[in-house]
Amino acid sequence: MSKKIICLFDVDGTLTKPRLKIEPHVEKTLHEISKKQQLDLAVVGGSDLEKVKEQLGGNEVFKKFKYVFSENGLVAYKDGKQLPSESIQNFIGEDSLQDFINFCLRYISELKLPFKRGTFIEFRTGMINVSPVGRNCSHKERLQFYEYDKEHHVREKFIQALKKEFSDLALTYSIGGQISFDVFPIGWDKTYCLRHIDEYDEIHFFGDKTREGGNDYEIYESDLTVGHRVSGPEDTLKQLKVLCEVLDEKRPTILGKRSVPPAPGKMAHLVSTRPILASLAAVLISEASPSSNPPPKATPSIAAITGAGIVSTLVIKLRIISNRSRKSAPAENIFGTRLRIMSTRTFSSLRILSTASVNWATRFLLKAFLASGRLSPKTAIPLSLPSR
């Protein structure tokens, strides 16, 4: 029986450019891949439903995606039918809600920015969206404020003031997009939508704001997902294609004839028999310096040996392996967690694939193997680096 897999996408910065409509070729490629690989598709956005529909084709979005989650999943649709929802108003109460909104308006009134427009507070079903510059700004002004905020940290300072003033409320603050931040009860981040798709064996999440403080961070780091950090729609398609190559059992890959990696318990065998993983082992074992020291200059680059495409494929495989190990016995949890931290935080950030960066990632990978007891130094030390 084949595994049930779903690909879950953020909207802004992942499927579309910020606040713009999805481009036809992105939409076409997405659904061609879905049909070929028999993958279910879902979207999750922090915006309200109307904005999600506006960016993804109106009511057609319900036909194109099995699940549509707006407001982090507080408003949810499956096959075009709405699922039960929650309300932030009921959660914190009207009095606290008004106090919060009044404070925000006073704070914004005292801000001195290059420009201000309108719609500073947007009340949604499961959250409050706060925009210091105003959501009515033009696309050009949006970009200008985004650059201004990078330098002056307007949103970060605003959030710190709110945390201090409303420390008694169980609220989370998440910077998303370019001009605003979201406020919602703890636990009502994008991981909220996962309760609706728990029947899947693997949930692959694609998002751009995956750093701590970003509105994709919690779901990207969740034990229930395999996270993919992307830089835009084109990168999303690229990583999705790599994932499909991994899932396609008819194509040979670096882990052998099977494209879906075997269980974590077989990893030591793979490291000792497959040349690519053997090279990873050799790089780590040959390095005796502490992890805090930079890698030796003589250490070869795995990217140079294997090619960037193979490294990308390895990244996807590592994420799948680590996701599976987290769902296995408790004794394997440390292995899975450490491996996942390495693969998602380190490998996925290697856009330039420099020698130093790749070797840092290599060290973390093999240390996770060694710490898990699944790979012995005696097995790895004799292995030599293969030619390209």
Model confidence over 264-274: pLDDT tens digits? 333 333 333 34
State mean pLDDT over 383-387.
31
In a domain, 205, yes or no: yes
Look up the domain containing 100 and give its range: 88-185
Q: What is the pLDDT of residue 126?
A: 87
121-123/128-130 β-pairing: antiparallel
H helix intervals, the chain: 24-37, 49-56, 61-64, 88-92, 94-109, 139-152, 154-165, 217-221, 233-247, 267-273, 275-285, 302-306, 308-326, 333-341, 355-372, 377-380
In a domain, 241, yes or no: no
The answer, as to whether pTM is greater than 0.75, is no
208 and 59 share one domain: yes
147 and 109 share one domain: yes
Half-sphere exposure of 265 (CA within 13 A, CB side): 3
33 and 71 share one domain: yes
Tokens 């680059």 locate to 301
Asked whether the predicted pLDDT for residue 338 surpasses 70, the reply is: no
* 182 beta partners: 129, 174
149 and 291 share one domain: no
Q: Alpha carbon of 139 to those of 17, 134, 146: distances in Å?
A: 11, 12, 11
CA-wise closest residue to 169 among 73, 74, 98, 70: 98
CATH number at residue 74: 3.40.50.1000
Q: Alpha carbon of 285 to those of 288, 299, 362: distances in Å?
A: 7, 11, 10
In a domain, 70, yes or no: yes
CA 313 to chain centre: 17
203 and 174 share one domain: no
In a domain, 355, yes or no: yes
d(CA 388, CA 98): 64
210 and 195 share one domain: yes
**Binding site for alpha-D-mannose 1-phosphate: which residues?**
19, 124, 135, 142, 180, 182
**Binding site for Mg(2+): which residues?**
10, 12, 208, 220, 225
66 and 199 share one domain: yes
351 and 294 share one domain: yes
In a domain, 239, yes or no: no
100 and 67 share one domain: no
254 and 363 share one domain: yes
In a domain, 238, yes or no: no
**Binding site: which residues?**
10, 12, 19, 124, 135, 142, 180, 182, 208, 220, 225
Q: What b/e string do you get for 162-186 counting C-beta neighbours within 10 Å, with b at 16 or more?
A: beeebeebebbbbbbbbbbbbbbbe
In a domain, 244, yes or no: no
CA-wise closest residue to 41 among 83, 6, 15: 6
**Does 79 participate in catalysis according to the annotation?**
no
**Does 149 participate in catalysis according to the annotation?**
no
In a domain, 388, yes or no: no
Three-state SS at 347: helix
Greater model confidence, 232 or 277: 232
Greater model confidence, 194 or 352: 194
CATH number at residue 177: 3.30.1240.20
**pLDDT digit string, tens, across residues 283-326:** 443 432 334 344 443 334 444 434 445 445 555 555 555 555 44
204 and 81 share one domain: yes
* 184 beta partners: 172
**pLDDT confidence band for 366 (50 / 70 / 90):** low
Domain edge (last residue) among 147, 164, 185 = 185
The number of distinct structural domains making up the chain is 3
Q: Alpha carbon of 303 to those of 135, 311, 318, 362: distances in Å?
A: 43, 6, 16, 11
105 and 175 share one domain: yes
